[in-house]
Structure 1
Amino acid sequence: MRSLFILAAVVASSVLASDDVIVLTDANWADEIKTLEVALVKFYAPWCGHCKRLAPEFDKAAPKLKANDPPIALVKVDCTIEKETCQQFGVSGYPTLKIFRNGQLAQDYDGPREADGIIKYMRGQAGPSAKEITSVKEYEKFISQDDNAVFGFFETDSKLKDSFFKVADTERDRFRFGYTSNAEVLKKAGYTDDIVVFVPTKLHNKFDPNEFKYDGNYDTDKIKAFLVSETNGFAGVRTQGNAFQFEARPLVVVYYNVDYVKDPKGSNYWRNRVLKVAQEYKRKVHFAVSNKEEYGGEIEQAGLGDRKGSDKPIAVMYTEAGKYPMDQAFSVENLKQFVQDVLDDKVEPFMKSEDVPAEQGDVKVLVAKNYKELILDSDKDALIEFYAPWCGHCKSLAPKYDELGAKLSKEDVIIAKMDATANDVPPMFEVKGFPTLFWLPKGDRKNPVPYNAGREVKDFITFIAKHSTDGLKGYDRSGKKIKKKSEL
């Protein structure tokens, strides 16, 4: 009996734990979602590999966010059952995450997918977007925390103050905002109508300023650009939470045991050596340091998995052409020479790629090694599907995609597919779920257009006929088949 009681208690506790994530259906969505002040909704499919990996992280984050003040709800919707709700929000890949406020869609979620990152990101979605500071003590505490502080100093109302709050409202999940009109704080700081980013003390160094002052006007886009790209210093500490600040290319990332809590001295020792090289390439090459455990997968993808156990840093340079691992042992001299060699086209990029197929059919099989030949060097429009072999939706799409390839085999358009789990996806494509499709006009290979229309053959043809650069020979612009004279 005692064993049965213990077993019952364990089962009961697991049920309670799962209750922290709210399950919504087509039947109760409309009534329940509007009762939640802030909610992160996960639209998923049970068979999806990415969904399975996200599930335990979602479950870990749920109770902590539920206990937040104000509470933040984590919600899940099974799109294999609740199809009406998923269609309402245009869900086409899994998992898809979206943030809702009082029942209204606020924005797509593009934050971390591990528990701590989800918690930090979503806590930024609750409460005021910028914290008002009313004393010197509060101010000193706010700017001395372990992450960058974006601070507004406003003696009076101004256009810059209005813009500051607009930016805080949209960027609250990425940055920590504070502001003041307190006379004592303004006097101590020496600012009156300014936006300043304060760098945490642990990251101070002799190469970078300790604070970055915004010198532009009240244009909100300029303020956002300043926060994203002008406050990292010569070699910022890149994490999963701030990776969006390191998207400019070329980018050199140096991986080692970055840990400013357990080993600040060691973290600064190697970073200072990176900074020494970085200052020589200002505005020409961007630099960052990252923890090699946090970015173990990225190191593997650069072909340096066997070096993860090394005591010395590992360096990879990312450009529009691909990724370049540094083969030499790390040193200031070797890093500088390596960067210059990549800039001078003396190094070949590393590619994770399947073998190039010996033969091709109507649907072209793309791998990393033939992408340039089949797509970049082609003078045809292209529709590209990125898929995963295990993905159920991809398997359902396959016969329709093959039929599309056959129907358009004589047109000046490439119908192609790439296994995104076995090949490096070209950097201009953002693939977060499967299948993901992009339209690539022949005149613009750098700005792919996400394909979000229907998945039937006729839907593809309608889209391609409308968007093809020179039109199709067998279909008009509306997607209707052009009848030959013999058919009249």
Structure 2
Amino acid sequence: MEAAVRLIPAVTLVLLSCFPAAESSRRDVLELGDADFDYLATEHETMLIKFYAPWCGHCKKLAPEFDRAATRLKGTVQLAKVDCTAHSETCARFGVSGYPTLKIFRNGKDSAPYDGPRTADGIYQYMKKQTGPDSVLLKTEEHLHTFMDHYDASIIGVFSGADSPRLSEFVRAAGLLRDQFRFAHSVELKLGEKYGVNSECVLLFRPPRLANKFEDSVVVFKDYLTIGSLRRFIRDNVYGLCPHMTVENRDRLRVRDLLTAYYDLDFHHNSRGSNYWRNRVMKVTSKYSARGLTFSVANKKDFLSELEEDFGLGTSDGGELPFVTIRTKLGHKYTMREEFTRDGQSLERFLDDYFSGLLKRYVKSEPVPERNSASVKVVVAESFDQVVNDPDKDVLIQFYSNSCPHCKKLELVYKELADTLLSDKKMVIAKMNAVENDVPSGYDVQGFPTIYFAPVGRKDEPIRYEGARELKDFLKFLKREMSHSLVDGGSKDEL
């Protein structure tokens, strides 16, 4: 008994020590309400505020990530939250209509919506970039060199004085774009002399790690400065001839037709080796960049799942040599099957074939079914054009996923529809697994099931089906949209 008594305090101490960390994490998130919002928010230069409802499932999922981020950002950026069920006045004032809504505040004023990641690490990394002024003041040439010697690009404005109207416009632009780019400014015009300018201008310094002999490392903007013109200048020049594509910037790069060379790129630990293959891509770039194709390099490890999913690349494919793809803005995909040669000749041949229209598009597809006699026709990517784009037939196609419960619920009704219309030789009821097959452009599939109707004469303008999912609803829709009279096989439903 005595031994048991001695154990109790030890166990109690262990249990108590489990709670303070979680509790302190929650205390790092400031709670704001209608009565004290303005007073407390103005005390902090930068805040990330979460507007939430206690019953919201997404809010509950975000809460522990938000709490952990608050602890990591303590002393740098204050994280706060507002319960909109208890403080509706504040939430209405800032236009909160859904939960959770995250907003960045500066000195108590709504500055920008938060559109970054919603994990603890993602919130931490995103908000670290939000600290400090929108544009850093540089007083000396040493300050300028220190700022531009960075992993990322630097946009530096040089102005004649603190009262320059161009400076105020530059700082406004920096406030809007600071989550994407780094900004600094100086009121010493002499800092621009080294770069061949002696009047107010903006200097764009590409990252030193990407310096090369094929393009200038510094680009000068001298046009009339507005937020729009500066945004366009940065967009058109910041990436250069062959940028380093990352998970963060890939969407911005893919607004154009893009060639990417994937390999073991690591500018942090092996800058020379990383630039070896990049320089070989750039040597070829100068011959083709004027033809509407942009170029990039990327770390293969960062995009392995995407390469496997979109291009059928195995983890060992290519070895140490780059794996080259082209992805157009319409979603068409091509892969270079020839081994990347160090002289760049294989890449040139690949590009010549691409621009000559000789390359076959890479399409992720299940095998074309040997037998396809069921009333609901199975379509795969390789047979999509033959079946769905048949110029003589109207086609209703369902995009589904095997794991989707709504798709399984629809299965019986969809088969009944196909059976009902089986005698109509000008009508096809079809389905395609959108996880295992590439979805063609023109079909926006974000969830399952998604249903489209491709009528005769309008194959390039498929109609999305948004109605109810009962047999009579499908039949009513088809009767209205079909290019011919509906043959319903004796359906008892009144049309």
Match of 1:150 in 2: 155
**1:321/1:349 contact within 8 Å kept:** no
Residues 166 and 21 of structure 1, relative CA distance in 2, 3 Å threshold: same
Counterpart CA distance in 2 for 1:213 and 1:379 is: 57
Q: CA deviation at 1:3?
A: 4.5
Name the SS for the 1:283 alignment partner.
helix
The partner residue of 2:242 within 217, 235, 244 is: 235
Name the SS for the 1:293 alignment partner.
helix
Name the SS for the 1:305 alignment partner.
coil
Match of 1:175 in 2: 181
Name the SS for the 2:201 alignment partner.
strand
Name the SS for the 2:17 alignment partner.
helix
Counterpart CA distance in 2 for 1:445 and 1:215 is: 48
**1:62/1:74 contact within 8 Å kept:** no
The partner residue of 1:214 within 196, 218, 221 is: 221
Match of 1:299 in 2: 307
Match of 1:343 in 2: 355
Name the SS for the 1:307 alignment partner.
coil
The partner residue of 1:323 within 319, 322, 333 is: 333
Bigger RCO of structures 1 and 2 (CA < 8 A, at least 6 apart): 1
Counterpart CA distance in 2 for 1:33 and 1:353 is: 55
Q: CA deviation at 1:105?
A: 9.0
**1:155/1:186 contact within 8 Å kept:** no
The partner residue of 1:130 within 116, 135, 138 is: 135
Match of 2:3 in 1: none
Counterpart CA distance in 2 for 1:423 and 1:45 is: 38
The partner residue of 2:78 within 60, 65, 71 is: 71
Q: 1:63-462 maps to which residues of 2 (within 5 A)?
A: 63-65=71-73, 67=74, 69-73=76-80, 89=97, 98-101=102-105, 106-107=112-113, 109=115, 111=116, 116-156=121-161, 160-188=166-194, 190-284=197-291, 285-301=293-309, 302-307=311-316, 310-319=319-328, 320=330, 322-331=332-341, 332-354=344-366, 358=372, 368-369=381-382, 372=385, 390=403, 420-425=434-439, 434=447, 457=468
Name the SS for the 2:184 alignment partner.
strand
Residues 447 and 307 of structure 1, relative CA distance in 2, 3 Å threshold: farther
Counterpart CA distance in 1 for 2:322 and 2:133 is: 40
Residues 15 and 166 of structure 1, relative CA distance in 2, 3 Å threshold: same
After alignment, is 378-387 or 176-185 more displaced?
378-387
Residues 215 and 181 of structure 1, relative CA distance in 2, 3 Å threshold: closer
**2:29/2:79 contact within 8 Å kept:** no
**2:380/2:432 contact within 8 Å kept:** yes
Residues 441 and 167 of structure 1, relative CA distance in 2, 3 Å threshold: farther
Q: CA deviation at 1:136?
A: 2.7
Residues 374 and 97 of structure 1, relative CA distance in 2, 3 Å threshold: farther
Name the SS for the 2:262 alignment partner.
strand
Counterpart CA distance in 2 for 1:445 and 1:201 is: 49
Residues 282 and 353 of structure 1, relative CA distance in 2, 3 Å threshold: same
Q: CA deviation at 1:144?
A: 1.2
The CA RMSD measured in Å over matched residues stands at 5.4
Counterpart CA distance in 2 for 1:448 and 1:29 is: 49
**2:407/2:448 contact within 8 Å kept:** no
Unaligned runs of 5+ in 1: 78-83, 459-464, 475-486
Counterpart CA distance in 1 for 2:464 and 2:198 is: 44
Question: Deviations for 1:303-362, whole angstroms, at most 9, x for unmatched residues?
Answer: 112435712221111123522122222121112211222222222222233456847989
Residues 19 and 214 of structure 1, relative CA distance in 2, 3 Å threshold: same
Residues 342 and 29 of structure 1, relative CA distance in 2, 3 Å threshold: farther
User: Which amino acid in 1 is paired with 2:140?
Assistant: S
Higher Rg = 2
Q: CA deviation at 1:108?
A: 6.1
Counterpart CA distance in 2 for 1:309 and 1:447 is: 39
Match of 1:484 in 2: none
**1:252/1:288 contact within 8 Å kept:** yes
Counterpart CA distance in 2 for 1:43 and 1:429 is: 35
Identical-residue share of aligned pairs (%): 28
Counterpart CA distance in 1 for 2:463 and 2:139 is: 47
Q: CA deviation at 1:402?
A: 6.7
**1:440/1:447 contact within 8 Å kept:** no
Residues 288 and 151 of structure 1, relative CA distance in 2, 3 Å threshold: same
**1:391/1:434 contact within 8 Å kept:** no
Question: Deviations for 1:211-237, whole angstroms, at most 9, x for unmatched residues?
Answer: 122354435334323322322121111
Give TM-score scaled by structure 2 length.
0.67
Residues 314 and 416 of structure 1, relative CA distance in 2, 3 Å threshold: same
Residues 293 and 140 of structure 1, relative CA distance in 2, 3 Å threshold: same
